[in-house]
């Protein structure tokens, strides 16, 4: 593969299939299968999943009743639900996996401990990082970048709805240009 360690990021919506909400187990299994291919090729894999299939902080706060900070914490909890689901699917396919959460929820999963995450990866286990960065006002893309740097990933693979990085949203702007390379 050319990479020793990677960080895979995908949105929560990717798990929801056509319904746009919740978790479609067939899609969950498909994505877990793709991750297994990486593991089978000797790649160490960290995963960050968004939570938008359950709740988004920004949207929850739109009506002015739920404050943005609380909305973001709700969104972080949503990412833990997705992380636990991914853990189940990977284990179902025979892949060793651990979930670590930036917010301590110790009855549900391990807490994020950088050195422990590294050990899991070295042992060939997938580590799913839940709760984003653990802070409101940050996206799970920021969490993916942070964890990627922390674990020394060679690359961040972002599975998304478009085929590359654009100067603006290609779904909204027909003149959006794909950037071939960025610093």
Q: Which C-beta is closer to ligand GTP: that of 10 or that of 112?
A: 112
Q: CB of 158: closest distance to ligand GTP in angstroms? A: 26
In DSSP terms, 178 is beta-bridged to: 166
- Return the number of the residue (46 or 57) whose C-beta is nearest ligand GTP: 46
* Least distance to ligand GTP, CB of residue 106, Å: 4
- Of 91 and 167, nearer to ligand GTP (C-beta) is 91
Q: Shortest Cβ distance from residue 108 to ligand GTP (Å)?
A: 5
Binding site for ligand GTP (CB under 6 A): 98, 106-111, 119, 123
Q: Which residues contact 87 (CB under 8 A, 6 or more apart)?
A: 97, 98, 99, 109, 128
Q: How far is the CB of 36 from ligand GTP (least distance, A)?
A: 18
Report the residue closest to ligand GTP, judged by CB: 106
Question: Is the Cβ–Cβ distance between 151 and 117 less than 8 Å?
Answer: yes
Q: Is the dihedral of CA 79, 83, 84, 86 positive or negative?
A: positive
Q: Which two tokens stand for residue 33?
A: 């299968």
Give the separation between CA 165 and CA 150, rounded to whole angstroms.
Answer: 23
Task: Give Cα separations from 180 to 164, 165, 183 (angstroms).
Answer: 8, 8, 11
* Closer residue to ligand GTP, CB minimum distance, 110 or 141: 110
Cα–Cα distance for residue pair 26/39, rounded to 1 Å = 20
Q: Would you say 39 or 61 has its CB closer to ligand GTP?
A: 39
Shortest separation between residue 110's beta carbon and ligand GTP, angstroms: 4
């Amino acid at each position: 593969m050319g990479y020793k360690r990677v960080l895979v990021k995908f949105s929560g919506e990717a798990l929801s299939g056509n319904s746009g909400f919740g978790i479609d187990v067939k899609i969950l299994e498909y994505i877990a299968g793709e991750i297994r291919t990486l593991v089978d090729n000797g790649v160490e894999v960290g995963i960050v999943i968004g939570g938008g299939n359950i709740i988004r902080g920004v949207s929850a706060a739109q009506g002015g009743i739920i404050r943005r900070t609380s909305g973001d914490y709700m969104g972080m909890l949503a990412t833990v639900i997705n992380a636990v689901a991914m853990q189940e699917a990977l284990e179902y396919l025979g892949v060793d996996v651990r979930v670590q959460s930036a917010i301590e929820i110790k009855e549900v999963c391990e807490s994020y401990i950088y050195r422990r995450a590294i050990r899991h990866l070295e042992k060939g286990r997938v580590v799913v990082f839940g709760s984003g960065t653990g802070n409101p006002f940050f996206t799970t893309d920021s969490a993916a970048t942070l964890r990627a740097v922390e674990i020394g990933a060679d690359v961040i693979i972002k599975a998304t709805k478009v085929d590359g990085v654009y100067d603006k949203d290609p779904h909204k702007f027909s003149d959006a240009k794909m950037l071939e390379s960025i610093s």
